[in-house]
Amino acid sequence: MMKWVLFIPELYYLLMAVVFFACSLSRRLQSGVLYRWAVILAGGGLLATVLAVNQNGFIFFDCYRVDLYSQLFKILLALGTFWVIFSCSELQGIDSRYHAEFFLLTTVCTLGMMMLVSANELLTVYVSIELSSYSLYLLVPMRKQTEIYVETGIKYFMIGVTASAFMLFGISFIFGVAHTTYVPDLVKTLPSLIKEPAAIIGLVLTLCGFFFKQALFPFHSWAPDVYMGAANQVTTYIATASKMAAAAMVIRFVNLSGGESPLFTQVLVGLAVLSMTFGNLVAIIQKDLKRLLAYSSIAHAGYMMIGILTMSEHGVASAIYYSAAYLVMNFACFMVIMKVADDGRNLQIKELAGLHKRSPLLAMTLMLGLFGLAGIPPTVGFTGKFLVFAAALRKGYLILVIIGMINATISLYYYLIVIKAAYLLEPERPYPDVRVDTWTRALSYGLIVLMIYLGVFPDQFVALTEAAARSLP
C-alpha cells in the first residue's frame, strides 16, 4: 500500500485533470477565476513533485520506475507546466469557452509525460506517449482563427501518428530480438544483441517516435508549422515542457545500446550534425519569431544529441543539464512573445522594434534568453553547451565539437537579428503598449536570475544531474 507514495505527483495531476474536467462541464465559470485556480493548482503540482524528488522504487509490476532521473525530469515538467499556466492570464489566442479545456488538456499531457519518464516497460512507454500526444493533437487546433491554421492541426496529427506507428513497429522488433519489454532487462541484453540488424532497426525505429517529439532532423517537419499555427501558449508548452519528456526518453533509449554499436553511434552523429546545421541555416531567413525558434529548437536537439550519443555518465548528465537550461531560456523567449503579442497574434521579428523602450524588462529577458540559446557566457546556455562539448571530448569527438561550435556561431547571427530588432530598430508604426503586470515582472526577474545564477554557479546543479545520470538503469 505504501508504494502509492511513489505515484503521488501523477495522482496529483490526475486529480487536477478531474477538477478541470468538472470546470469544462460548467459554462458559468469566469476566465479570471479559472486562471487563478489553475495557477494555484499548478503551483501545488510543482510543490508535490519537488517534495517527491527523493522517492525511489518500482510499482505496477515493475512497469513503473521512480528514481532520481525520473523525478528530476518530472520537476522540469512540472516547472514548465507551472510557468506556462502562470503566463496564461491573457489566453487571448483561445476562445474563452475552451479555457477550461485548455487547462484540462495541458494537465493530462503533463500527466502523460510524467508517466512517460517513469515508464520502465515498452508498452507503458507507448501508452504514456500516446496519452500526452493526443492532448497535444487537441491543443494545437484550439486556436481562435482555426480556419487559417486548420492545416496545422491535421499535419501535426498525421505526422505524429505516423511516428508513433514507426515506434510501435520498432518496439515489436526489440521484443522479437530480446524477448522482453522491460527496460532493465533490455539494458542487460541489448548491448550484446545490438550487432544484429533487427536490434538496430528496432532501436532506431523506436527512437523515431522520440526524435519526432524532440524535433530532431529529419523528424522535424511538423515543428515550424505547429509552432506558428498553434496559439502562443500552446506553442510555449510544446516548446518547453513537452521537450523535456522527449529529451528524457531519447537519453534513456539511446543508452540501451550501451555504446556497443559503432554504426548506431555514427547514425546519431550524422543526425546531430544534420539537425544542428539544418536548423541553424534555415532559421536565418525566418521573419516570424515563433518559426525562428522552431528552427532553433531543431538545432538545439542536435546539440543535445552530442551529449547523449557519448553514452557516458558525463554525457547523460550534460544532456540533462542542457535540457533544463533549454527549458529556462526557451521559456524566457516565449514569455516575451506571449506578453508582447497579448492579443494572441503571431509575432514578427520587426514588431519587436523599440521593445527596449516599451518594456526594458521584457527586452532584457529576451536578450538574455537569446544569448543563452546562442551559448554566450555567463548564461546557463553557455554552461550547458560547455558541459555537452566537454562530455563529447572525453570520448574524443573533436570534429563533432568543432562542428557544434561553428553552428553556435551561425546561430548567433539570427539571434542577434532579433536582439537588434528589440534594441536598435525604430518601430515602423506605433505598436500597442506592452502591459507587464507585477506577476510577469516577478517571473521575468526570476528567469533572469535563474539564467545567470545557473550559468555562473553550476556546481550544485551539475552534481544533481550527475547523480540522476547514475540512477539510470
Q: Which residues bind other proteins (CB under 8 A)?
A: 371, 376-378, 382, 386-387, 389-390, 393-394, 396, 398, 401-402, 405-406, 408-409, 412-413, 416, 419-420, 423-424, 458-459, 462-463, 466
Residue closer to other proteins, measured from CB, 61 or 453:
453
The span from the CA of 71 to the CA of 56, in Å, is 9
For residue 189, give the nearest of 248, 258, 126 by alpha carbon.
Answer: 258
Q: Which is nearer to other proteins, 105 or 391 (CB)?
A: 391
Give the strand pairing for 64-66 and 57-59: antiparallel
Our CB check for other proteins shows the closer of 355 and 462 to be: 462
- CB nearer to other proteins: pick between 438 and 460: 460
Three-state DSSP state, 359: coil
CA dihedral 342, 152, 114, 339 (to 10 degrees): -10
* Min dist. Cβ of residue 170 to other proteins (A): 34
Query: Measured from the CB atom, is 331 or 389 closer to other proteins?
Result: 389
Output the smallest distance, CB 266 to other proteins, in A: 20
Question: Taking the complex as a whole, how short is the minimal distance between the CB of residue 284 and other proteins, in angstroms?
Answer: 12
Distance CA 469, CA 404 (A): 23
> What string of H, E and C letters represents the secondary structure of 418-430?
HHHHHHCCCCCCC
Per the CB < 8 A criterion, the answer to whether 327 and 79 are in contact is: yes
The minimum distance between CB 334 and other proteins, in angstroms, equals 22
Cell (9 digits) for 144: 481562435
Nearest Cα residue to 94 out of 145, 27, 28, 134: 145
As a residue count, the chain comes to 473
User: From CA 366, how far away is CA 334, in angstroms rounded?
Assistant: 9
Task: Provide, rounded to whole angstroms, the least separation between the CB of residue 277 and other proteins.
Answer: 14
Cell numbers placing 353:
522594434
Phi, then psi, of 210 in degrees rounded to 5: -75, -35
Cβ-based nearer residue to other proteins, 158 or 463: 463
User: What is the closest distance, in whole angstroms, from the C-beta atom of residue 456 to other proteins in the complex?
Assistant: 9
**108 or 401: CB nearest other proteins:** 401
The minimum distance between CB 192 and other proteins, in angstroms, equals 29
Contact 324, 78 (CB under 8 A): no
CB nearer to other proteins: pick between 203 and 469: 469
Least CB distance from residue 393 to other proteins, whole Å? 4
The answer to whether residues 215 and 223 touch, using CB atoms and an 8 Å cutoff, is yes
Task: For residue 2, give the amino acid letter.
Answer: M
